[in-house]
Structure 1
C-alpha cells in the first residue's frame, strides 16, 4: 500500500471522496488515501502544500492560483467542481444593515489572508465599484470564528459558501444580504511538485477513481438524503445545491486560468501574469 495524503474542507462538495474511501476504491488500487479535514479553508491548505504537509488538496481555484503565482511549488491537476461557488454575504442577524450597499466601508471577516473569503471579498468589492484598496479585514480562522466575531458585535460582514451557512441563516445567527458567485470553476485538485515528480503514476490511479465517482455522483439513489443527513442540511437546500453543482474531470483551460490571473492582477493580488505551465500539470 502506498500512502497518499489529501486535504479538503469538511463540506458537501467532498462527499465523493469519502464514499470512494468507504467503499475501498483506492485500496483496490493499492493506495491508502489519508484524508484530513481543514475547516480553515484554502489559505491554510495553500500553506500546507507549500510546507509539504500534504500531497494533494481539493482547493479553491483563485486561492491556489494566487499562491502558485507567489512561489508555492504546486500544480493544478484538474478541475474538481466545474460550476461556480455561490458565496453568501452575511452580517449578524441583529445587524441593522439590510443591503449590500451599506457594507461599503465595513470590515470583512475572513478565515485568513489568501483564503477564498479574503480573495472573493476583493472580487465582490470590485463588482460593486468600491475602492478595493481600502478593504480592511478581521481574521476569524473558520466558520465558528465567524459566528463568534459577528455575534460579538464586530460589525464586520462575512463571505462563505451559501449552502454551508444556510443552517446559520435559518437559525437566526446570520442574516444574508446577497450572493456573489465565482466567475470561474470553483474547486481544483492540486498536488505538490514533489509528489508529482515521484508519484505521477499513483496520481493517475487517484484521478481515475475520483472521476468515476464524481461522474456518477448525482445518480446515486437517495444521494440528496445522504448529503442532508451527513451535513445537517434541509433536503430542499441540498436538492437546490445539487441542481447548481457540476463536477469536472478535465484540466482547467488556459483561458480560464488567464481569466483568474487577470482578475487577481487587476486587484493587485498578484504582480504579473505567468505562463500556464507554471500552474497546470499535464498528465494525460
Structure 2
C-alpha cells in the first residue's frame, strides 16, 4: 500500500475528492490517500508542501506558481478547475464603504502573505487602476473565520474570498458584497512534491486518473446540487449557478497559461524572475 497525504480547502470545488475517498477508489489501486483540510488556503498549503506535511495539494494556480519560483520543490501535474475563480470583495455589515472604488488606500484582510487573498488583492488593484505601492495595505487574519470575526472589529477594511463560499455570510448580513474580481486563468491546479514524483510516479498518475474520471462525470451525478447545498450550507439556486459556471479540467496547464500567470506576477512585483514552464509543469 502506497501512502499519500493531499491538502485542499474544505470547499465545494473539492467534493469530487471526498466522493472518491468515500468510495475507497484509491484503496482499490493499493493507495492509501489521506485528505487534510487547510482552512488557511494556499499560503498554508505552500508551507505544508515545503515542510513535507503533505505530498500533494489542490491549490490556487497563481499561489503555487509564485511559490515554486521562490523555491518550493513541487510541480503542477494537472489543472483541476479550468474556469476562473470568482473572488467576492466583501466589507463588514457596519462598514461605510459601498463600492470597490471606496476601498482605494484601505487595508485588505488576507489569510496570509503569499495566499490567494493576498495575490488577488494586487490583481484587483491593477484592474481598478490603483497605485500598487500607495493604495494597498494588508492585515493577515489567517482564514475565513478570522475575517468573520475581525472585519466587523476593524481588522482590515475588505476581504476577498471565493464568492459562493462566502455567500451564506452575505445572506445572513455578516458581510456585504461590494464587487467581484475574476482570476484571468484557470483557478485550481494539483501540485505534487518533486520527490513524490520521482519515487512514486505511477501511484501519483493513478490518483490523477481516478479524480479525472470523477470530475468528468461530476455534474451528472443525480441530485448533486442538493448534496452540495446540504454539505456546504448553500442555497440550491446558488449551487446551480455555481455548477453552471464551473468547469473541471482533465489536462495540465499550457505553457502559455503559465507564462500569463508569471507575466502578471512579475508586473505586480510579486516575483523578480520567471521560470521556464518546463520547470513548473510535469507531464506523465
* 1:78 paired residue number: 78
Aligned: 1:180 with 2:181:
yes
**What is the match of residue 57 of structure 1?**
57
Distance 1:112 1:2 in 2: 33
Query: Aligned equivalents of 1:47 and 1:197: distance in 2?
Result: 20
Distance in 1 (CA, whole Å) between partners of 2:36 and 2:159 is 25
Which residue in the other structure is 2:93 paired with? 93
Shift of 1:148: 1.1
Shift of 1:3: 1.1
User: RMSD across aligned C-alpha pairs, in angstroms?
Assistant: 0.7
1:133-212 matched pairs, under 5 angstroms: 133-134=133-134, 135-154=136-155, 156-212=157-213
Q: CA deviation at 1:114?
A: 0.4
Residue 155 (structure 1) shift: 5.1
| Rounded Cα–Cα distance in structure 1 between residues aligned with 2:15 and 2:143 | 20
How many residues of Structure 1 are paired with residues of Structure 2 in the alignment?
A: 283
- Alpha-carbon separation, structure 1, partners of 2:114 and 2:15: 25
Residue 111, structure 1, aligned to residue 116, structure 2: no
Please tell me whether the aligned partners of residues 229 and 239 of structure 2 are also in contact (alpha carbons under 8 angstroms). Answer: yes
Give the SS at the match of 2:5: strand
Q: Which residue of 2 aligns with 1:123?
A: 123
1:40-55 matches, cutoff 5 A: 40-55=40-55
Deviations 1:228-283 (A, max 9, x none): 00001000000000000000010100000000000000000001121111100111
Instruction: Give ranges in structure 2 of 5+ residues lacking alignment.
Output: none
Find the counterpart in structure 1 of residue 69 from structure 2: 69
Unmatched 5+ residue regions in structure 1?
Answer: none
Q: Distance in 2 between matches of 1:236 and 1:36?
A: 29
* Whole-angstrom CA distance in 2 between matches of 1:133 and 1:192: 34
Q: Secondary structure at the match of 2:149?
A: helix
TM-score, normalisation: structure 1? 0.98
Cα distance between partner residues in 2 of 1:242 and 1:138: 32
Provide the C-alpha distance between the structure 1 equivalents of 2:248 and 2:92, rounded to a whole number of angstroms. 32
